[in-house]
Chain A
Amino acid sequence: MFETFFGFAIPGIPFGCTYAVIAVGLVLTYQATGVFNFAFPAQAYAASLVFTALIQSAHLPSWLAFIIAAVIMSPLLGLAFDRLLFSKIPNTNTTAKLVTGISLLVGLPSLLLVAFPSNYYNPPSLIWDINTVYLTFWEIPINGAQISSVVVTVLMLGALVGLLRFTNIGLQMRGAVESRRLVQLDGVNAGGVVAVAWMVSSFLAGMSGILFSPNFGEIQSQNYALLFVFALAAAACGSFRSLPKTAIAAVLIGIGQFLFQGYLPTTGFLFTTVLPSFPFLVLAGALLLMPGLRNLDSSADPLSSVDPPLPPTAAASRLPQMDRMIKIAWYTVLGVFVVSMLTWIPKDWESVLNQGLAFSALFLSITLITGMGGQLSLAQATLAGVGAFTAAQLALHLGLNFLIGGLIGAVVAAMVAVVLAVLSLRLRGLGLALMTLAAALLFDTAIFSNQTLAGGSGGLNIQAKWLGLDLNNPNGHLYFIVAFLVVLLITGMILFIRKGTTGRVLGALKGSETGAAGIGINLTKERIMIFALSGAVAGIGGVLLVIQENVANPQSFNYAFGLIFIVIVVTTGVSTVEGAIQGGFGFVVIQKLLGYAPARFADLTFVFFAFGALTYAAHPEGILEFQKRRSYQRIERFFPSAMKKSEENELAIGIAGGVSDD
């Protein structure tokens, strides 16, 4: 009895330690730099890939490969992240920090795949060999990888706690998290301190990647993403603050996972559905219950009043003449597009552009929630999937027409979004992003992977009889017409809402909900409404997508796409309707074009957009939008009569000057 228990529990410990190393590294970065580093698994992946490639392809000895990959490359990567990207983002700008991390998470592995096109199997062990049993406890064999997990975790935790608690630079790091300006007033080179923190934590990322890669048969970035989610759950249990609590939670999660796995009957619902969702449930639970996680972003810099206000958006600073010209240009493009689609465009390109329409619809849901609502949702792909599978199931079982089913699907997606919104009413910024990520993962494992609900790995094939109309006839234009009208309708709705009260309230208060609450404005209603709308639009986008692809495939809606979609829309402009539409078309067109290039470049689509999104901090309106504004300005220079009034630079100081004192 005891033996069975330990037989189940003990193998969980090294796994828990794996999670702990990553979780602790994550918390360290967050505590020391104020950045919740979504790129952490990408860094771990990069290090283990380079390490293995150096040994297996360049035939270096493993110690040298370790020094190059973990001791040199990893910290340099972290340093580059900090110097080139994160140090330029104001510490209070949570969205920019998240988006930057996510684009690295998406872009770095894709870039590495281009650089290292071959597959690497059986990554080598660093210290103790995975195939050797060194110890046995209660007759349970313990291999080298398990020992190194435990040993490294204990050493690393000790070193880190020591660093943060007992050294001067640790103290400075903790000070710099709260306010880089304030530590500078004490003579601390805050930039340098933060850079050191990045290097230390990136070394940890690299080392954890190398240490644990032997547990996987092949080096793949998805494996690290999964580890990352376990680590997230543990870090959430430690409120993203306490290193020891995080480590303990990680080990307990590891043990719990193995205990459940051991004791649960292997055929039941619990085993097949709840167990794989275990870490996401822990993450969601911690986000909901741990009080420290509600105000993750609120430890505000006392010197943030030094920052100048945000500049006006591109559209706002356009000249009226310019506006008219752009409108005319848009209508012209639209007309040409419609006529071309109906006449001369070849079939394969028509289908690509049709897919672009479907993605445009889906991406408009991001315009709603992130551009207008100011909240980062990582679950938009999931909501699209909810819409799509609802429609597919209704057609399959009730024989309901797919278009009507699609509308019902949109309503269901909206309801899921509302549940998510209500659950996370008290979460903001990072907390909300993680909550939506947990939801996306939960749907992936519990619903989209379910054979009956989503058709398993092959998905559900769309049958012609479901589509009352002749919608998926490759020789007709009906799909195009329907999708086009739908996108037009959604666009119209968004523009209408933006002009209305809700839109203006949201626009005025975006990013300062605390401020709004302070003056007694309650945004709960607006927030739930925008979630619902965004869910419905995402659902419609999902339905359009599966009709176009002729299959409802769970893979098209998994959490990774939720991340990728954000990255795309942020690149093309999250605050404008054009942004989403350009994103939708850009995504499919670039993919199609890269299809003509050698296979190893297929993933470059993500790299393009990831690099675009990296500019989010500097150009929150979207890099494309920024470039557009620049070209408008160039055009405006040719129309001297229409020159802008010189900017109202001078400050109206002292309106309250004589009044408000004392």
Chain B
Amino acid sequence: MSDPMGNIMEVEHVDAAYGPYRALFDVSFTIPAGGVVALIGSNGAGKSTVARTITGLVQATAGTIRFDGVDVTQKPAWQIARLGVASVVEGRGVFSQLTVEENLTLTFRQRGTRKELSRNLEKAYESFPALGERRTQMAGTLSGGQQRLLSLAKVLVIPPKLLVADELSLGLAPVVIDMVYQGLEKIRAAGTALLIVEQQVDRVLKISDKAVVLDRGSVTFEGPTNEAGNVIESLLARRERAGSTAAKLVDEAVNDGVDPEHVVSKLVDEATKGLDA
């Protein structure tokens, strides 16, 4: 029962802040039902804040967020989750003091029925044999990649209406990234809409239909992925330019024996200039 436009989520003029620090400025975009949206932007652009705001972890200070026709702007995270939004958070998204199986059980009991629990657990272990071998291990002792797989397994087995995934591939080996994206394809085929937050753009643009580009807390582009090319190009170019500037400055400093603090301030100048351009 998505709305007439066929959007599962609509974000309109949303501001968000951490205490006195504002992080989002008038952010608007939509996620089509069953569609895949890539949310991209450089480090600190506010991507995670967007993910947190639409899942209810951070409260929007202005604007509205509608999910599946329901206004969820003021709802707490658990109510939004119950409406059908699943989320894989940035970094560690598992309970380190619970075992692998307990982590899965916690989610499956909440999203599925008690009867289906053992079948769902089996499904998870089938898709991720690495987890099957470590059922009774504390999740905190898993490797970073395995933890990521576990948080993915939690949301893949019972497809939600919308999955928000923040920096899924960060720090993972290429083989594991392949697994992750296969999982995403699968869940998409089951009808789940996806909002994929990534800095690593090449990969996510292949699977997404739509891209939203965020810069310093504001949306600078929203449209079909194939039209996003230019914006992303310039984003990448800027990143590259700033990166090489930094490298050059550091080299200079090392050669000249300059006070490092001086270099940092120069670096900041350069970087800000790059942004204003």
User: Residues of A at under 8 Å CB distance from B?
Assistant: 168, 171-172, 174-175, 177-179, 181-190, 299, 302-303, 305-309, 311, 647, 649-651, 653-662
Contacts and interface: CB of A to CB of B under 8 A. Distances in A.
Query: Taking each of A183, A303, A653, A658, which has the highest tally of chain B beta carbons within 10 Å of its own beta carbon?
Result: A658
Contact of A650 (B22, B44, B239, B267): B22
Interface in B209-265: 215-217, 238-239, 241-243, 246
A308 B20 contact: yes
A171 B102 contact: yes
B57 A653 contact: no
Interface stretch (B2-10, B105-113, B173-181, B186-194): B105-113
B93 A182 contact: yes
Given A187-B78, A653-B46, 15 more contacts: A185-B57, A185-B87, A189-B76, A189-B78, A302-B92, A306-B52, A309-B21, A651-B217, A653-B44, A654-B43, A654-B216, A654-B271, A657-B216, A661-B42, A662-B199
A425 B169 CA distance: 39
A302 B20 contact: no
Given A187-B110, A651-B22, A657-B216, A178 B44 contact: no
B56 interface: yes
A181 B57 contact: yes
Contacts of A659: 242-243, 246, 267, 271
Contacts of B28: none
Interface residues of B, number: 58
Given A185-B55, A187-B82, A658-B238, A179 B21 contact: no
A179 B107 CA distance: 14
Among A175, A181, A654, the one with the most B-chain Cβ atoms within 10 Å of its Cβ is: A654
B121 interface: no
20 contacts: A174-B102, A178-B97, A182-B89, A184-B56, A184-B81, A186-B154, A187-B78, A187-B81, A299-B97, A306-B52, A649-B21, A651-B23, A651-B217, A653-B45, A654-B43, A654-B215, A655-B268, A655-B271, A657-B45, A661-B43
Interface of A is mostly: loop
Contact of B105 (A171, A188, A308, A656): A171
Nearest to B107: A186
Interface in B45-68: 45-46, 52, 55-58
B199 A657 contact: no
Contacts of A303: 57, 89
B69 interface: no
Given A186-B81, A661-B199, A302 B89 contact: yes
Contacts, number: 146
B49 to A, nearest CB: 9
Nearest to A650: B22
B50 to A, nearest CB: 13
A207 B241 CA distance: 69
Interface in B196-216: 199, 215-216
Nearest to A651: B21
Nearest to A185: B87
B129 interface: no
A190 B78 contact: yes
B97 A308 contact: no
Given A651-B22, A661-B199, A185 B274 contact: no
B95 A657 contact: no
Contacts of A187: 78, 81-82, 110-111
A659 to B, nearest CB: 5
A653 B16 CA distance: 14
Contacts of B46: 653
B172 interface: no
Contact of A653 (B82, B216, B268): B216
A651 B58 CA distance: 17
A-B interface, 4 closest residue pairs, ranked by CB to CB distance from nearest: A308-B19, A658-B242, A308-B18, A187-B81
Contact of B111 (A171, A186, A189, A649): A186
A171 B110 CA distance: 11
A306 B78 CA distance: 16
Nearest to B199: A661
A311 to B, nearest CB: 7
Contacts of B57: 181, 184-185, 303, 306
B20 A188 contact: no
A179 B77 CA distance: 13
A305 B90 CA distance: 10
A657 B271 contact: yes
Contacts of A174: 95, 97-98, 102
A658 B275 contact: yes
Contacts of A190: 78
B139 to A, nearest CB: 10
Contacts of B274: 658
Nearest to A653: B216
B18 A657 contact: no
B182 interface: no
B24 to A, nearest CB: 10
Contacts of B43: 654, 656-657, 660-661
A302 B94 CA distance: 8
Contacts of A647: 20
B118 interface: no
